[in-house]
Amino acid sequence: MNHFTYNPQPARVVFGAGRVGETAAEADRLGGRRCLVVSTSSQKSLARKIGRLLGNRCVEIDLSARPHVPAEIVTTAVETVRNQKIDLLIAVGGGSTIGLAKGITLETGLPILAVPTTYAGSEMTAIWGISRDGRKTTGREPAVKPKTVIYDPELLVSLPAALSLTSGINAMAHAVEALYAENADPISLLMAEEGVRALAAGLPQVVQKPADLDARTLTFCGAWLSAAVLDQVGMALHHKLCHTLGGSFGLPHAATHTVVLPYATAFNASHAPNAMAALARALDCPVDDVAGTIQDIARLHGGPVSLAELGFSESEIDRAADLALQNRYFNPRPFTRGDIRALLQRAFEGVRP
Ligand code: NAD
């Protein structure tokens, strides 16, 4: 690596079991006197608990977060923010919740304090997405990146084993693509390799014992490192395929990453030897079995391995291949439509790469 630009935009990270108890102090650091807590209806009790921790700083709790951040929900929340003179957003939940807070910030400029409860990683990035009329628009805007992130592994204990596994592999996908990113740097490479190592070591334990705090701590640390590199460097073919399958075919976000990652890795292996060497070290496997070893993490622990299992129809492969070819983007291995079609066919069938 002879040329790179290292320009991190760090957030304050407060990490450790029980540290959600410091939410009020962290809100004070950001000058939050009138906070809006954002979450989903299924995480109502956690949102209320955080509201109580904030005391009279909590003005309102909004439980309207939904997958893909529908624009109308953002509009309603922005009205609340303006009517209630909110000065700080507290996002408590997964990528959908943090996505809603980012949507509000795009319009209001308010700072965000994020309390993530999945491994998805949105809390570490300046990437936003909003859906209008079934179409998701995404972009990068430094203002939407949370100023402070509280990673409390105790909040993951309630995340079901199946969702923990797919969400953890979603996190791993950020680190895998960071290892062959066009704009990688020495720090992003270290963080990405360590992210994969922590996730691969911890996820099997999490699936067996979702309440094991050591395993939750290890995997949350891996997810943080992986999310940080997602913010720092560009992603490639794997992410493009997953956005196509999620955005145009409605496949579930984390499960789609879980299925596609082994096939994207296998496809890129011949053109990313340094990345494969790093992955072999992190996964403790032979360098020619990286893709299969990633799939084994899902297969051996009850996770999905084929697009067929996710309800994707084989007859849609051609349309998906066409969509994935729109807007050219960097990938270590050049590809044709035939390559993408063949990759999707293998992912549909789920045969170990
Ligand atoms: P999610 O936020 O939709 O959460 C899934 C479900 O799990 C929700 O019902 C939620 O309430 C529930 N849940 C979350 N944490 C829980 C917990 N600890 N215990 C019990 N239930 C819990 O799913 P996600 O996978 O976290 O996020 C996916 C979304 O995030 C996608 O839309 C994706 O595009 C986006 N995303 C964005 C970025 C970014 O940088 N902008 C990064 C990664 C993902």
Question: What are 144's two structure tokens?
Answer: 């939407």
Helices in 179-316 by DSSP H: which ranges? 186-208, 213-232, 237-249, 253-268, 273-283, 290-299
Distance, CA 207 to ligand 1 centroid (Å)?
18
Nearest Cα neighbor of 111 from 7, 57, 32 is 32
Residue 32 identity (one-letter amino acid): G
CA 334 to ligand 1 centroid distance, Å = 32
pLDDT on residue 3: 87
Tokens of 187: 């720090």
Ligand 1 geometric centre to CA of 320 (Å): 24
Nearest CA to ligand 1 atom 19: 159
CA distance 13 to 211: 23
* Cβ atoms of residues 300 and 204 within 8 Å: yes
Question: Of all atoms in ligand 1, which is nearest to the CA of residue 125?
Answer: 40
Distance of CA 202 from the midpoint of ligand 1 (Å) = 19
Closest CA to 74 of 96, 100, 93, 35: 100
The reported pLDDT for the residue numbered 35 is: 98
Which atom number of ligand 1 is nearest to the Cα of residue 243?
34
Q: In the chain, what's the furthest Cα-to-Cα distance?
A: 59
Q: How far is the CA of 170 from the centre of ligand 1 (A)?
A: 11
User: What is the distance between the alpha carbons of residues 97 and 67, in angstroms, rounded to a whole number?
Assistant: 8
- pLDDT for position 134: 73
Measured distance CA(56)–CA(30) in Å, rounded: 16
List the residue whose alpha carbon is closest to atom 28 of ligand 1.
Answer: 95
* Regions of the chain short of the pLDDT cut 50: none
How much is the pLDDT for 7?
86
CB-CB neighbours of 7 under 10 Å: 8
Q: Which of 41, 163, 233 to mutate to test the pocket of ligand 1 (most atoms within 8 A of CB)?
A: 163
Amino acid at 72: E
Q: How close is the Cα of 66 to the center of ligand 1, in Å?
A: 9
Query: Residue 158 has what pLDDT?
Result: 97
Alpha helices in 93-160, H assignment, sequence order: 95-108
State in Å: Cα 231 to ligand 1 middle: 17
Q: Which residues does ligand 1 sit against, CB inside 6 Å? A: 40, 42-43, 67-68, 93-97, 99, 117-118, 120-122, 125, 127, 129, 155-156, 158-159, 167, 253-254
